[in-house]
């Protein structure tokens, strides 16, 4: 925590508590994945579905950017889009995710087509894009603050994948390695902005509720994955069937 008023410190602690209680690092699917317990079908299902989240992140950031009238804030925020889409000289997160897809045996064209995404994943991710597009700026920024809690899960994931799965190597885990520097940069700006702009109790409640909403967007995706591909293994009509989309 930085130098701040007691009210801001109290509010920041409230936001961090939401992560302690609700972030998706506590979901059993992540425990299964990071401890080496996933079958390759389950890993592939995760890579396919999580790609949909990845692919929508720069779209939600573009929607957010279009609402900003401050050029300084637009300049800061647009780096998030470049982190995912890349630039002429730097590869972005989407390309890195597709290398992970290839590494686990999937056809990257199948993965990027969006075919076979679980319905609940699509609904949750689309709800996040709409939330950021339509809600006031304060909750829109606050909803990105789950990234406060992401570096720990990315570190756990890199270590867990490297230890337990043959497909894991510096190339296939590069996506997570890059997020270790990208996410803290984003969140340093986002957290300060939220703390500076959430003045009233109603503002703070709106920001906290936005963060809770986002933890639910993440949790719902893993619940969907679990029910389709772990237990009871009920794959919804139209969703990916193991064996489809192979490289
Ligand atoms: O692997 C993860 O657990 C995880 C979580 C989150 C998150 O907390 O929303 C993001 C990411 N990864 C991520 O890689 C990423 O680029 C990202 C962007 C955002 C966002 O809300 O703008 N969250 C996340």
150 CB under 6 A from ligand 1?
yes
**Domain assignment of residue 162, yes or no:** yes
173 CB under 6 A from ligand 1?
no
**Domain assignment of residue 175, yes or no:** yes
CATH number at residue 42: 1.20.910.10
Q: Whose CA is nearest to atom 10 of ligand 1?
A: 147
**Domain assignment of residue 28, yes or no:** yes
**Chunked in runs of 10, what are the mean pLDDT values of the chain (247 residues)?**
75 98 98 98 98 98 97 97 97 98 98 97 98 98 98 97 98 97 95 97 98 98 98 98 98
**Domain assignment of residue 239, yes or no:** no
What was the pLDDT predicted at 198? 97
Q: What is the DSSP string of 164-203?
A: H-TT-STTTTHHHHHHHHHHHHHHHHHHHHHHHH--SHHH
Question: Could you report the per-residue pLDDT of 184-210, keeping only the tens digit for each?
Answer: 999 999 999 999 999 999 999 999 999
Give the span between the Cα atoms of 87 and 6, in whole angstroms: 41
What was the pLDDT predicted at 6? 74
**Domain assignment of residue 247, yes or no:** no
Q: Whose CA is nearest to atom 14 of ligand 1?
A: 179
What was the pLDDT predicted at 185? 94
Question: Could you report the per-residue pLDDT of 79-112, keeping only the tens digit for each?
Answer: 999 999 999 999 999 999 999 999 999 999 999 9
**Domain assignment of residue 245, yes or no:** no
Distances (CA, A) of 88 to 78, 97, 210: 15, 18, 34
215 CB under 6 A from ligand 1?
no
User: In the chain, how many domains are there?
Assistant: 1
Structure tokens at 106: 């999937």
Q: What's the domain range around 158? A: 6-228
**Domain assignment of residue 33, yes or no:** yes
94 CB under 6 A from ligand 1?
no
């Amino acid at each position: 925590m930085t130098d701040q008023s007691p009210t801001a410190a109290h509010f920041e602690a409230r936001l961090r508590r939401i992560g302690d209680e609700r972030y998706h690092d506590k979901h059993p699917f992540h425990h299964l994945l990071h401890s080496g317990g996933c079958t390759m079908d389950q890993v592939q299902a995760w890579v396919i579905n999580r790609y949909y989240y990845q692919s929508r992140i720069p779209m939600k950031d573009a929607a957010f950017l279009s609402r900003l009238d401050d050029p300084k804030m637009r300049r800061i925020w647009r780096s998030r889009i470049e982190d995912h889409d890349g630039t002429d000289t730097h590869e972005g997160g989407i390309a890195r995710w597709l290398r992970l897809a290839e590494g686990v045996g999937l056809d990257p064209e199948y993965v990027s087509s969006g075919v076979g995404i679980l319905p609940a994943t699509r609904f949750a991710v689309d709800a996040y894009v709409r939330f950021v597009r339509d809600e006031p700026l304060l909750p829109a920024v606050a909803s990105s603050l789950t990234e406060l809690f992401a570096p720990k899960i990315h570190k756990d994931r890199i270590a867990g994948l490297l230890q337990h799965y043959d497909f894991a190597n510096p190339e296939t885990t590069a996506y997570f390695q890059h997020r270790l520097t990208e996410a803290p940069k984003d969140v340093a700006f986002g957290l300060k902005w939220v703390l500076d702009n959430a003045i009233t109790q109603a503002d703070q409640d709106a920001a906290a509720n936005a963060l809770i909403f986002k933890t639910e967007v993440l949790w719902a995706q893993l619940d969907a994955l679990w029910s389709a591909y772990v237990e009871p293994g009920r794959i919804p009509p139209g969703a990916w069937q193991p064996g489809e989309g192979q490289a």
